Chain A
Amino acid sequence: EADIYQTPRYLVIGTGKKITLECSQTMGHDKMYWYQQDPGMELHLIHYSYGVNSTEKGDLSSESTVSRIRTEHFPLTLESARPSHTSQYLCASSEEAGNYGYTFGSGTRLTVV
């Protein structure tokens, strides 16, 4: 079944640790996105990619980085986690967003202590 997967689902980590949030999709979509969402709040675009070797920063400044070496994989990395990074991170993909919109993963809820 075509889908988009995020791991881990929940992560509690200490300040200063390096973390990578995984996002993979099996739909062959070229376009992928990372959004950050605080509980009950709106979504903010932090990174996006239009294909392999293409990455761009989104509207909300983020200390995270992303890579897109394979079409299906779009990981997000924080080199040194801080409590201000505590949030939910949602990955999405689209083929033709204008026609079908985005498909979202289940999200990673990150807590930095």
Chain B
Amino acid sequence: ELKVEQNPLFLSMQEGKNYTIYCNYSTTSDRLYWYRQDPGKSLESLFVLLSNGAVKQEGRLMASLDTKARLSTLHITAAVHDLSATYFCAVEANFGNEKLTFGTGTRLTIIP
């Protein structure tokens, strides 16, 4: 059974600071996705990582994938209040079946 773990579960950080969210998964996979969810809202796709060493960047967020370590990171640079949300990583369970298993989520709060 595929397990996806994120840490930390809760993160409170000041504006302007840098931080990293970690996503570990338990089985071989080359496909990992990051989503953002605002309170009471649905999920918004942030990044699609499809190979070992993949790195994607959008604004103050950068995601990377190390398939050998079964680890993805979401790095936040110079945080701003608008980044406050819950961030989920999701992993495709077995290549080709396209079912995603989601992590526990990281609730990020940016303090002015």
Contact = CB atoms under 8 A, between A and B. Distances in A.
A93 to B, nearest CB: 11
Interface stretch (A11-19, A38-46, A63-71, A73-81): A38-46
Nearest to B40: A109
Contacts of B44: 104
Given A97-B31, A102-B43, A102-B90, 18 more contacts: A40-B86, A42-B103, A42-B105, A43-B43, A48-B99, A58-B99, A90-B43, A92-B43, A96-B98, A98-B92, A99-B48, A100-B45, A101-B90, A103-B45, A104-B42, A104-B43, A106-B41, A109-B40
Interface of B: 31, 33, 35, 40-45, 48, 50, 86, 88, 90, 92, 95-96, 98-105, 107
A42 B88 contact: yes
Contacts of B90: 101-102
Interface of A: 31, 33, 35, 40-45, 48, 58-59, 90, 92, 94, 96-107, 109
A92 B95 CA distance: 19
Nearest to A30: B98
Contacts of A98: 31, 50, 92, 95-96, 98
Given A99-B50, A101-B33, A43 B102 contact: yes
A62 B86 CA distance: 25
A28 to B, nearest CB: 16
A109 B48 CA distance: 27
B45 A102 contact: yes
A107 B42 contact: yes
B25 to A, nearest CB: 13
B104 A97 contact: no
A105 B42 contact: yes
B74 to A, nearest CB: 15
